[in-house]
């Protein structure tokens, strides 16, 4: 409740008055909850993944895999041809660590690109298809420039349910059929938060 709507406790018209101590405790509790979530994210175990050999099912990532994922761009648009997207995490890819029930893609590391122009990488997630997730706004975009290639790049996204949610990546570059090769870093958690 905003401060200017607290009212005056001596005024009978404000029967919904919230005690300042109650309000401060609620704010403090939310702050502590957020700090715990933040701390847990940065202290979670990380697993790096490459692409699995068989992309036909729901097992798309290979923990500690050395073969890169690859996404293909359209001409100034996200690649839309069949298989332009990279399938990142299928239903069978999580949990990577037994007992963990949620995950997020924490970082991406670009290994190579077919040109030095900037790329926009769109990480899409959802329980249905990639198109459904993207249409619902379930995605994060990151910009990759030549200077950022070869170093891990942070990804911002919510936690996803292991064995329920999937993740894909689409690439956009000024050149048609430009390719970008990369690995993904995954965090997993024992809680849902």
Q: What is the pLDDT of residues 83-122, one digit of tens each?
A: 999 999 999 999 999 999 999 999 999 999 999 999 999 9
In the chain, where are the structural domains located?
3-40, 45-189
Q: Is the pLDDT of residue 193 over 80?
A: no
Q: Is the pLDDT of residue 77 over 80?
A: yes
CB 50 within 8 A of CB 69: yes
Instruction: List residues bridging with 107 in a β-sheet.
Output: 154, 185
Helix, strand, or coil (residue 29): helix
Q: Is the pLDDT of residue 3 over 50?
A: no
Give the model's confidence band at 1: pLDDT under 50 very low, under 70 low, under 90 confident, else very high.
very low
Q: What percent of the chain clears pLDDT 90, i.e. is strictly above it? A: 68
Q: Tell me the pLDDT of the chain averaged across its residues.
A: 86
Q: What is the pLDDT of residues 165-183, one digit of tens each?
A: 999 999 999 999 999 999 9
Which CATH topology does 45-189 take?
Answer: Jelly Rolls (2.60.120)
Q: What are phi and psi of 8, to 5 degrees?
A: -110, 120
Q: Is the pLDDT of residue 15 over 80?
A: no
Instruction: Specify the pTM.
Output: 0.79
Structure-token pair, residue 37: 């979530």
> What was the pLDDT predicted at 20?
78
How far apart (Å, rounded) are the C-alpha atoms in residues 98 and 193? 18
How far apart (Å, rounded) are the C-alpha atoms in residues 186 and 105? 5
Nearest CA among 19, 63, 56, 30 for reference residue 183: 63
């Amino acid at each position: 409740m905003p401060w200017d709507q607290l009212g005056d406790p001596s005024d009978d018209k404000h029967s919904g008055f919230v005690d300042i101590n109650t309000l401060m405790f609620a704010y403090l509790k939310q702050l502590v909850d957020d700090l715990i979530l933040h701390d847990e994210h940065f202290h979670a175990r990380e697993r790096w993944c490459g692409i699995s050999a068989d992309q036909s099912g729901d097992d798309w990532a290979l923990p500690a895999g050395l073969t890169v994922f690859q996404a293909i761009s359209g001409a100034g648009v996200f690649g839309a041809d069949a298989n332009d997207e990279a399938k990142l995490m299928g239903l069978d890819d999580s949990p990577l660590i037994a007992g963990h029930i949620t995950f997020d893609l924490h970082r991406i590391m670009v290994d190579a690109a077919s040109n030095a122009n900037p790329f926009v990488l769109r990480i899409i997630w959802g329980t249905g298809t990639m198109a459904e997730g993207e249409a619902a706004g379930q995605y994060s975009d990151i910009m990759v420039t030549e200077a950022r290639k070869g170093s891990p790049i942070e990804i911002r996204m919510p936690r996803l349910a292991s064995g329920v949610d999937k993740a894909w990546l689409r690439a956009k570059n000024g050149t048609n059929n430009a390719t970008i090769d990369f690995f993904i870093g995954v965090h997993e958690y024992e809680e849902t938060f």
